[in-house]
């Protein structure tokens, strides 16, 4: 997720527990989506779509936090 911000992500994970939780939850959902799409886990279309939407919301929140952090460092 957001590999171009690797340094900022590392700093935020160390200094911001909320960001670390968001990041970990996003990765957990990413794994669940990947497993469902590969057929390793059975989910309905609605369940899969719900996971994808939740994952996207977390990514958006993390991205905003990264940009805020980056701007505060400038």
DSSP-derived secondary structure for 5-70: GHHHHHHHHHH-HHHHHHHHHHHHHHHHHHHHHTTSS---HHHHHHHHHHHHHHHHHHHHHHHHHH
- Reported as half-sphere exposure (CB side, CA atoms, 13 A), residue 55 has a value of 16
Q: Is the pLDDT of residue 2 over 90?
A: no
40-67 pLDDT, tens digit per residue, is 999 999 999 999 999 999 999 999 999 9
The Cα-based distances of 64 to 8, 36, 70 in angstroms read: 12, 28, 10
Give me the residue label for tokens 């989910």.
43
Per the confidence metrics, is the pTM higher than 0.75? yes
Domain count, the chain: 1
8-44 pLDDT, tens digit per residue, is 999 999 999 999 999 999 999 999 999 999 999 999 9
Instruction: Name the band, by pLDDT with cuts 50, 70 and 90, for residue 73.
Output: confident
Domain extent for 27: 3-73
């Amino acid at each position: 997720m957001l590999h171009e911000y690797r340094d900022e992500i590392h700093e935020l994970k160390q200094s911001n527990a909320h960001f670390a939780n968001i990041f970990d939850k996003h990765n957990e959902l990413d794994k669940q989506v990947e497993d469902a799409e590969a057929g390793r886990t059975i989910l309905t279309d609605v369940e899969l779509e719900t996971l994808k939407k939740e994952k996207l919301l977390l990514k958006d929140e993390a991205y905003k936090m990264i940009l805020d952090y980056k701007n505060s460092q400038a």
